[in-house]
Amino acid sequence: MHPTSHPHSSTHPSPVTTSSTKVEAFDFTKGARPVRAPRGSGLSCRSWQAEAAMRLLMNNLDPEVAEHPDALVVYGGRGRAARSWAAFDAIVATLKRLESDETLLVQSGKPVGVVRTHKEAPRVLIANSNIVPHWATQDQFDQYEAQGLMIFGQMTAGSWIYIGTQGILQGTYETFAECGRKDFGGSLAGKLCVTAGCGGMGGAQPLAVTLAEGTCLIADVDRSRLQRRLDDAYLDEVVDGLDAAIDRAVELTGSSRAVSVGVHANAVDLLERLLERGITPDVLTDQTSAHDPLQGYVPVEYSFEQAEIARKEDPEAYQRLSLASMVRHVRAMVELQKRGSVAFDYGNNIRQRALDNGFADAFAFPGFVPAYIREQFCVGRGPFRWVALSGEPTDIYKTDHALLNLFPEHENMYNQRLHRWILGCHKNPEALLAGDYANCEPRFGWQGLPARICWFGLGERDRAGLKFNEMVASGEISAPIVIGRDHLDCGSVASPNRETEGMLDGSDAISDWALLNAMVNVASGASWVSFHHGGGVGIGFSQHAGQVTVADGTEGAAARLARVLTNDPMMGIFRHVDAGYPTAERCAGERNVDIPSR
């Protein structure tokens, strides 16, 4: 194969297939060392925008945050923050010397150039994992990664705005809470929710379920992941043995206790044991790393430790076993659905893997977005996350308090959810309500720099961002606040098996919207902008954009925040109005969104 050949030459690359390619591990661990972002109000770069990018890159690789920091893997199987340690060092060195009218270009985790732009332009532009569509296969990507030519950026790993498991926590809570409202008359109280995958993303599930008043039983083949969520208070307890864990979860459900139980087991074994025992969960989903059959998913035949060896010894055989296990996994989910479980896909593409490998009924259950989230996308709602560059938890508590005042609970149902969410993040919510920050204590552990996430819509994100900027300007907050989001948002992604599944007009796979979102955020002056391929569901199945903007207390930052945090969620309105959703059309009218007549 000749990866650099011209597309019209006779030697241009053909899409690689498993049968023709031997994928070998690329050594990313040479020179590995612990990374921790600087704290405080002192600058090591020449602008706060560059400083924030450097700190957030480092924060992604903090051992408290990253799943495998020595390998530069942040989460999601092999979602990396940089291509190599040499590339990481070059990015940091360049950010430290970057002028306020220059922009660093990063291609799949490697800095490749600096261009002269202007002060309102992004300081960093990032493109990760993008391959020309005809060649955009997992096997082709594996080949490029093995050659050291690109990385899998996931969504927020390679865009430097991952904040640990909390980053998906509120979105996961929104999903389970909506499931309770829609399918169980208002709450998950007294309902057994079964799932698997307790890593960087999936680890949010047990706490999200209990916040939604349900009982959770979650499996993971990696015991250390269960222990990590236990230590950070995302998971309440771990019970050894499948039957013992099932019995404990059933007991807790019977007494309507909002408690989460972890079990060290393969998801397939757990689901098949539930079937054997005739126990039907009320809610059933999955967040194993099925998007990546090589590095992410573990076949039922292997323990976690055996899998580590097997995937290196024979990657092709390993992937065949992974895919066969996914068929069993989805088949068990469909059978439990037939017995009465409310089942939904949680965005890891496991249904597609099962369908492609012979299970015709794989899409019997829906994805979580069309089932529970799309109406929120129609009003521009989505994940809004922020990070305190000071490293002081008090700065996050102050922003929590400010948002409770800025968005009064009585105004609408979304504000009610916001209050319940923020207060639920605190062990002592009374202290927060009183502004007694010295006695505030988080319900779950910080990972790296203190951070928070909320779901906000059009007309809310900009207000929140401007409020934070005012707090930095006044000195109420001791250092700038970084505001970003997941790529999983209302108008930033094309992912036919997840965010854009089942679009009203059939436009599921049209990715113009994700490209427009990236361009809009560049034009609006975000501090850094990224465009990725494959995040969440795997190579070939998604394209998506991200933005991060710094609130440093200046008038310039206020102008950028107002533009970015209005235009970014407005892309969700455009997207869903164009697809014909009445809720989006009503929102556009209420918000005076300028949509040319069609």
Question: Contact at 8 Å (CB) between 218 and 246?
Answer: no
Q: How far apart are the first and last CA of the chain?
A: 46
Beta bridge partners of 531: 127, 545
CB 513 within 8 A of CB 575: yes
Residue 286 exposure: Cα atoms within 13 Å on the Cβ side: 26
* Measured distance CA(95)–CA(68) in Å, rounded: 24
- Active-site residue 179, yes or no? no
Give the chain's length: 598
CA 231 to chain centre: 21
Alpha-helical segments (H) within 341-476 = 350-356, 368, 374-377, 393-406, 413-424, 429-433, 461-474
CA-based nearest residue to 291, from 513, 492, 65, 488 = 488
How far, in Å, CA of 298 to CA of 377, rounded?
Answer: 33
Q: Output the DSSP codes for 226-237.
A: HHHHHHTTS--E
User: How far apart, in whole angstroms, are the C-alpha atoms of residue 432 and residue 440?
Assistant: 6
For residue 81, the SS3 value is coil
Residue 520: name the closest of 492, 494, 500 by CA. 492
Give dist(CA 121, CA 409) in Å, integer.
37
Q: Is 113 exposed, middle or buried (0-12, 13-18, 19+ CB in 10 A)?
A: exposed
* Spatial CA neighbour of 174 closest among 456, 546, 571, 500: 456
Catalytic residue, from 179, 198, 454, 490: name it.
454
Tell me which residues are annotated as active site: 454
